[in-house]
């Protein structure tokens, strides 16, 4: 697409956008009765208008049925709580490219990571190392360190960290594949983000999973910034396991319920796990007998009674993403980020850290601003453009195709011009 830096051009693209009506299904934050330019969906997605009714429905069920809400189906309680999580599986499977039995909404991301590591990190005397990305999200680092120490090992001797290249600050797929091959005899696990939270780089998960399979090493991905953002085919890629949060691109609300993926090739294996009552076979759960019998599929990794109100918001939100379809969302996302890249090009003070290859990025562009970066960020915020600041000099902007517009992107350029006219 050939872009133009004009309001008329941006508005024309918005008028031609087949997904434009989805914006009306979200509450757009406002200040002084003017809608903000919200480009922070990579941190917290916006509230779908359907969420309030979904929550009210379950509050009404609780009000009218009390504990019987777990079992009764009535005109006002269409879905008993006991199997509520099942109503999210079809949409989740569609979004991440998985069978419904391979996914389960539950817990929070780091809790799920601990549960999955208990099953998939099984170090031996010879194969005990974990390959990961240097500087990956802190919670992931802490979880890996915890399990390494739990097995009586030292992180310094156990973690194989792939560092970014000095010239572009990015992780190259070939470096990951080379490290897997070189360390194959001692690797017990590969765990890394599918999309880097800081740089916005999408890793080639398919290629990484294929290399891992060649060396019989289990591989898992943190999809916090990838789910609902980029196309995923976890089942076809042969990824062993994954977890994510749903409050970014899935718009599930602050601290929203997470989810897990466990490939069906592991469903019949008697993998060790940190068992809990809700992961027990549903048909015998109320027998209350000792001896854990896991529920089939990913459901067997559940531990605690689900938060129904969180699941209600989750179900309402992911239904919108599934309806729009990841293919259409991805097409618009590439156009939005392409337009944002075009808008940013004239500003020499700004370096785009995120790869310019659309296959290596999602909605987010990370901007390095070496001079007056914090001042610029505060100016953008004051002008109603909501992004995200990361120390020491990075502004993250993420035009989300479900609710952002090309005019939003155009406003970024206008505001940057206003800022640099007064500071140059």
Residues 137 and 271 in one domain: yes
Residue 254: pLDDT above 90?
yes
Residue 129, domain CATH: 3.40.640.10
| Cβ partners under 8 Å of residue 259, min gap 6 | 88, 92, 103, 104, 105, 106, 112, 243, 244, 246
Cα 337 → chain centroid: 18
Judged by average pLDDT, the poorest of 42-51, 68-77, 283-292 is 68-77
Residue 345, domain CATH: 3.90.1150.10
- Higher pLDDT: 328 or 285? It is 328
Q: Answer with the one of 323, 339, 369 that is the final residue of a domain.
A: 323
Identify whether 396 is part of a domain: yes
Domain containing residue 238? 58-323
Name residue 193's beta-bridge partners: 222
Identify whether 1 is part of a domain: no
Identify whether 373 is part of a domain: yes
Q: pLDDT tens, 373-389?
A: 999 999 999 999 999 99
The candidate with the shortest Cα–Cα distance to 239, out of 302, 295, 185, 190, is 190
Confidence (pLDDT) at 120: 98
Identify whether 2 is part of a domain: no
Residue 235: pLDDT above 80?
yes
Residues 249 and 369 in one domain: no
Residue 423: pLDDT above 90?
no
Q: Which strands sit side by side in the sheet containing 394-397, from one edge to the other?
A: 350-352, 365-369, 394-397, 388-390
Q: pLDDT tens, 217-228?
A: 999 999 999 999
Cβ atoms 183, 347 nearer than 8 A: no
The band of 80, judged by pLDDT with boundaries at 50, 70 and 90, is very high
Residues 172 and 270 in one domain: yes
Q: Answer with the one of 270, 294, 323 that is the final residue of a domain.
A: 323
Residues 355 and 334 in one domain: yes
Residues 252 and 291 in one domain: yes
| Cβ partners under 8 Å of residue 174, min gap 6 | none
| Cβ partners under 8 Å of residue 235, min gap 6 | 97, 98, 99, 102, 263, 264
Handedness of CA 315, 317, 320, 325 (dihedral sign): negative
Mean per-residue pLDDT for 318-345?
98
From residue 326, how far is each of 228, 293, 379, 413 by CA, in Å? 7, 36, 33, 27
Identify whether 88 is part of a domain: yes
Q: Are strands 241-244 and 259-262 parallel, antiparallel or unpaired?
A: antiparallel
Mean per-residue pLDDT for 62-75?
90
The count of domains in the chain is 2
Residues 119 and 180 in one domain: yes
Residues 17 and 136 in one domain: no
Tell me the backbone φ, ψ of residue 189, rounded to 5 degrees: -165, 150
What element of type H or E holds 181?
helix 173-183
Residues 133 and 246 in one domain: yes
Q: pLDDT tens, 271-314?
A: 999 999 999 999 998 888 999 999 999 999 999 999 999 999 99
Residues 14 and 93 in one domain: no
Residue 78: pLDDT above 90?
no
| Cβ partners under 8 Å of residue 273, min gap 6 | 115, 118, 119, 279, 294, 300, 301
**284 HSE (CA, 13 A, CB side):** 11
Q: Average pLDDT, whole number, for the chain? A: 96
Identify whether 408 is part of a domain: yes
Confidence (pLDDT) at 73: 82
| Number of Cβ within a 10 Å radius of residue 166 | 6
Q: pLDDT tens, 96-120?
A: 999 999 999 999 999 999 999 999 9
Residues 115 and 215 in one domain: yes
Residue 1: pLDDT above 90?
no
Residues 294 and 380 in one domain: no
Q: Answer with the one of 307, 323, 339 that is the final residue of a domain.
A: 323
Name residue 389's beta-bridge partners: 395
Determine whether 384 is exposed, middle or buried from the number of CB atoms within 10 Å of its CB (0-12, 13-18, 19+).
middle
The candidate with the shortest Cα–Cα distance to 22, out of 250, 320, 231, is 320
DSSP label at residue 300: G
Residues 149 and 290 in one domain: yes
Residue 71: pLDDT above 90?
yes
């Amino acid at each position: 697409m050939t872009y133009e830096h004009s309001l008329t051009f941006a508005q024309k693209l918005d008028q031609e956008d087949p997904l434009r009506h989805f914006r009306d299904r979200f509450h757009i934050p406002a200040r002084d009765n003017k809608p903000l330019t919200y480009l922070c969906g990579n941190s917290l997605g916006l509230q779908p208008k359907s969420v309030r009714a979904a929550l009210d429905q379950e509050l009404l069920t609780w009000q009218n049925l009390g504990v019987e809400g777990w079992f009764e189906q009535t005109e006002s309680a269409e879905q008993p709580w006991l199997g509520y999580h099942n109503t999210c599986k079809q949409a989740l499977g569609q979004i991440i490219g998985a069978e419904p039995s391979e996914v389960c909404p539950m817990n929070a991301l780091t809790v799920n990571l601990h549960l999955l590591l208990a099953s998939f990190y099984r170090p031996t005397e010879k194969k005990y190392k974990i390959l990961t990305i240097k500087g990956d999200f802190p919670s992931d680092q802490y979880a890996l360190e915890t399990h390494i120490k739990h097995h009586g090992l030292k992180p310094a001797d156990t973690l194989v960290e792939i560092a970014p290249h000095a010239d572009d600050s990015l992780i190259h797929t070939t470096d990951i594949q080379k490290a897997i091959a070189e360390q194959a005899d001692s690797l017990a696990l590969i765990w890394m983000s599918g999309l880097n939270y800081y740089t916005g780089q999408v890793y080639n998960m398919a290629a990484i999973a294929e290399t891992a399979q060649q060396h019989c090493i289990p591989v898992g991905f943190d999809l916090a910034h990838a789910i609902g953002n980029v196309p995923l085919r976890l089942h076809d890629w042969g990824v062993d396991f994954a977890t994510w949060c749903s409050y970014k691109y899935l718009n599930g609300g602050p601290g929203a319920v997470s989810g897990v993926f466990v490939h069906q090739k592991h469903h019949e294996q008697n993998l060790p796990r940190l068992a809990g009552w809700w992961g027990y076979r549903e048909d015998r759960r109320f027998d209350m007998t000792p001896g854990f019998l896991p529920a089939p599929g990913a459901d067997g990794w559940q531990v605690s009674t689900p938060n129904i109100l969180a699941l209600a918001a989750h179900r309402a939100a992911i239904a919108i993403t599934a309806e729009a379809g990841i293919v259409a969302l991805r097409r618009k996302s590439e156009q939005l980020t392409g337009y944002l890249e075009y808008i940013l090009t004239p500003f020499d003070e700004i370096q785009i850290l995120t790869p310019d290859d659309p296959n290596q990025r999602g909605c987010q562009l990370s901007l390095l601003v070496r001079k007056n970066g914090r001042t610029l960020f505060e100016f953008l915020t004051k002008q109603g453009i909501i992004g995200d600041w990361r120390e020491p000099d990075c502004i993250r902007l993420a035009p989300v195709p479900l609710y952002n517009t090309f005019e939003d992107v155009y406003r970024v350029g206008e505001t940057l011009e206003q800022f640099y006219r007064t500071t140059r």
